Each structure stands twice: as structure tokens, then as C-alpha cells.
């Protein structure tokens, strides 16, 4: 199908963008930054087109639904939101050094979606439980949240890279010098975590409303629900220790990384547990 062909090309485009961002960080030329940004833009436009085609195709097949209904589609959408969020951030901050940490994540997710065994990339009709208007809003808000947490995680990694290079900026490589200041990274990490927290809250609330209509209970301690609560609590702690206790920098970076581990478990790990949310059934 044409949409999956485009999507496998997007995987390589994101990889190329990552390489260009890396060249920029190592060589320091502004040219590479521009090339990387344009490559990323081409990637996300192509990916959006593929998603729209996939959406349209499902209607032509008579089983119309937003492309958010199975594991493959969720991975693709996850990568899309991450890149979108990153581009918005680069545009706002006029700093492209974060790309070298974010783009590989998007690339890996896309590659996993195309290569990993057992991932079905066909457009399939919705089973009765998924035939709901809440599907789109629930998946959309959850993945926007996941994407924000992913960027916060990338910033956490960057923070440690910067920290490891020592305090004396003039002595360090171009790579380190191009990274935002520790203060900036800390602020960004907080903004991303806060944004993710809002979207995760919306995701949990829309999920509860949906569950209320589908299963008869707004909360049933399904492993996915429970893990989303655990993730929510971790980020709630992260926001509190910053706002009330004044935690900054390294401690926040650790929280961002721990939080992301929870996000990953909520998204993927739960498939190993018996759950109504499992993508594997």
C-alpha cells in the first residue's frame, strides 16, 4: 500500500535528518543545521500525507476510521507527534541542538514499526469495542502526552551530556558548546513535563469517559490504567518537587528519565500483562 511505502521512506528521511543534525553539532556549520531542519520538515510533511492517505483509504474500504487503531498506527503517530513537538520547539527557541537527541528517537520508533516482527501494518476494521468517537480523542491526547515526555527525556539526556563535559565551556568541543545552557534545558524540561502532564491528564479523563460508555466503569484497575496512574503520579511528584521544593537541573533530569521509563512501560510493557488494552490480542 502506498501509505506504508511512504512511511518506510520517512524512516530513512528521519535518519538522514539525524545525521545532518549530528554533522552540525560536530562540524559547527550552520549549513548542516538548515539542511537538517528542511529534511525533518520534508519528513513530517510526507508522514502527514501518508497518514491522511491511510485515513482516506480506510474510508474507501468502507471501514473508515482515524489511523490510530492498532499498534503500528500508534507507533507511527507517536513518531509524528514527537517530531512535530520538536519542530515547534526548535522554531520557538532558535536552537537546533536538541534535534540530535530527538530525531534518533523518532527514527527508532519508525524503524521498529516497519521492521519488528508481528506488527501488522494493514488497515483493519474496528472491532465493536473500538467503535467509539472517544477513540480519536483518547489516543490523540495520550500520544501528545507521551511525545512531550519523550522530549523531556531527550533533554534529560542532554543535560547529563553537558554536565559530564565539565563546567568550563571554552575548553569543550563544538558539540557541547552548541547545546543550550543548563538553565535553559532545565526550563525546557519542566515545560515539556508540564505539557505532557496536562495531556496525560486529558488522556486519562477521555479514557475514563470512554470506559464508562464501553465497559460500564470509569476505572477498573486494568494494568494499562494502573500504569498510566503510576506515570501520572511520578510526573506529579516531579512538578511538585520543582515548584515547592525548588529542585532543578540534575534531579529534574533524573525525574524526566524515570518518568519516561514509566511511559515506556505504560505503552509497551503492559502488553506483557493481561490487559484489555493490549495491542497484542
Partner 1 sequence: MSKKKSTIWSFFSSIQLAIVLISLIAFFALIGTLVPQREASVKLAESISPSLFSFLLKMQFFDLYHSVWFIILSGLLAVNLIICSLDRLPLTWRRFRMQSLPFNEEAFKDLPATNTFQAGSDVQRAAEAATRLLKKKYGKFARTDGPGNTYFCAQKGSFSLFGVYLVHLSLLVLIVGAIIGSIFGIEAYVNITEGETVTAITLRNGNQSIPLPFSVRCDKFTMELYESGMPKTFQSDLTFLKDNQVAHVGKLLVNHPIEFDGFRFYQASYGNAPGGKATLALVRDGGHRDVINVEQGYTFNLPGKEGTFQVLRVEENMMKMGPAVKVAVRSNKNEEAVFWVFQQIDQIKKISPDIFEQVPVFNPGLFQPYTFSLLGLEEKYYTGLQVNRDPGTPVVTAAAILLIGGLMLILFSYARSIWIRIGQKGDMVVIAVAGRSYKNQPSLQKEIQYLLSELKNSLEKSQ
Among 46, 49, 66, 202, interactor with partner 1 by CB under 8 A: 202
Backbone dihedral angles phi then psi of residue 147, each to the nearest 5 degrees? -65, -45
Strand locations in the chain, DSSP E? Answer: none
Query: Closer CB to partner 1, residue 25 or residue 253?
Result: 253
CB of 3 to partner 1, least distance (A): 19
Q: Is there a contact between 121 and 90 (Cβ–Cβ < 8 Å)?
A: no
**Is 218 one of the binding residues for partner 1 (CB under 8 A)?**
yes
Stretch that binds partner 1, among 27-35, 47-55, 101-109, 201-209 (CB under 8 A): 201-209
Assign 141 to helix, strand or coil. helix
Is residue 267 involved in binding partner 1 (CB under 8 A)?
no
Q: Which of 8, 95, 201, 271 is close enough to bind partner 1 by CB under 8 A? A: 201
Nearer residue to partner 1 within complex by CB, 118 or 216: 216
Residues in contact with partner 1, total (CB under 8 A)?
Answer: 42
Say if residues 101 and 151 touch (Cβ distance below 8 Å): no
Distance (Å, whole) CA 179 – CA 166: 13
Compute the distance between CA of residue 103 and CA of residue 106 in angstroms, rounded to an integer. 5
Give least dist CB 96 to partner 1, A: 20
Do 39 and 99 touch, CB atoms closer than 8 A? no
Length of the chain: 281
Q: Shortest distance, CB of residue 266 to partner 1, whole angstroms?
A: 10
The whole-angstrom separation of Cα 77 and Cα 101 is 19
Q: Does 181 bind partner 1 (CB under 8 A)?
A: no
Q: What's the distance, Cα to Cα, between the start and end of the chain in Å? A: 24
Using left for φ > 0, alpha for ψ between -120 and 50, and beta otherwise, residue 217 falls in beta
Site for partner 1 in 61-100 (CB under 8 A): 63
- Residue 161 burial (CB count, 10 A): 14
Considering only residues 223 to 262 of the shown chain, the ones binding partner 1 according to CB under 8 A are 223, 226-227, 229-230, 233-234, 236-237, 240-241, 244-245
CB of 213 to partner 1, least distance (A): 6
Q: Which is nearer to partner 1, 11 or 228 (CB)?
A: 228
Per-residue string for binding with partner 1, 113-152, x by CB under 8 A?
Answer: -----------xx-xxx-xx--------------------
The answer to whether residues 216 and 255 touch, using CB atoms and an 8 Å cutoff, is: no
* Phi, psi values for residue 69, rounded to 5°: -110, -15
**Cα 75 to chain center, whole Å?**
9
User: Where on the chain is the footprint of partner 1 (CB under 8 A)?
Assistant: 63, 124-125, 127-129, 131-132, 194-195, 197-198, 201-202, 205, 208-209, 212-219, 221, 223, 226-227, 229-230, 233-234, 236-237, 240-241, 244-245, 270, 273-274
Amino acid at each position: 500500500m502506498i501509505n506504508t511505502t511512504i512511511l518506510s521512506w520517512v524512516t530513512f528521511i528521519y535518519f538522514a535528518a539525524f545525521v545532518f543534525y549530528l554533522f552540525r553539532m560536530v562540524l559547527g556549520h550552520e549549513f548542516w543545521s538548515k539542511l537538517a531542519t528542511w529534511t525533518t520538515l520534508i519528513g513530517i510533511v510526507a508522514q502527514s500525507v501518508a497518514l491522511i492517505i491511510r485515513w482516506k483509504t480506510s474510508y474507501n474500504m468502507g471501514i473508515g476510521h482515524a489511523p490510530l487503531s492498532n499498534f503500528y498506527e500508534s507507533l507511527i503517530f507517536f513518531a509524528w507527534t514527537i517530531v512535530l513537538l520538536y519542530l515547534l520547539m526548535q522554531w520557538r527557541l532558535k536552537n537546533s541542538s536538541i534535534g540530535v537527541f530527538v530525531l534518533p528517537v523518532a527514527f527508532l520508533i519508525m524503524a521498529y514499526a516497519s521492521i519488528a516482527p508481528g506488527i501488522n501494518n494493514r488497515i483493519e476494521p474496528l472491532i465493536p469495542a473500538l467503535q467509539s468517537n472517544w477513540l480519536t480523542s483518547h489516543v490523540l491526547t495520550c500520544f501528545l502526552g507521551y511525545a512531550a515526555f519523550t522530549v523531556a527525556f531527550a533533554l534529560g539526556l542532554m543535560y547529563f551530556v553537558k554536565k559530564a563535559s565539565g563546567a568550563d565551556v571554552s575548553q569543550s568541543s563544538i558539540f557541547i558548546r552548541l547545546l543550550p545552557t543548563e538553565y535553559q534545558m532545565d526550563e525546557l524540561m519542566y515545560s515539556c513535563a508540564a505539557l505532557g502532564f496536562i495531556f496525560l491528564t486529558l488522556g486519562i479523563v477521555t479514557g475514563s469517559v470512554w470506559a464508562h460508555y464501553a465497559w460500564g466503569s470509569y476505572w477498573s484497575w486494568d494494568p494499562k490504567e494502573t500504569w498510566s496512574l503510576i506515570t501520572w503520579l511520578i510526573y506529579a511528584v516531579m512538578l511538585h518537587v520543582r515548584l515547592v521544593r525548588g529542585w532543578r537541573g540534575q534531579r529534574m533530569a533524573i525525574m524526566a528519565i524515570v518518568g519516561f521509563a514509566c511511559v515506556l512501560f505504560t505503552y509497551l510493557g503492559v502488553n506483557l500483562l493481561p490487559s484489555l488494552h493490549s495491542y497484542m490480542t
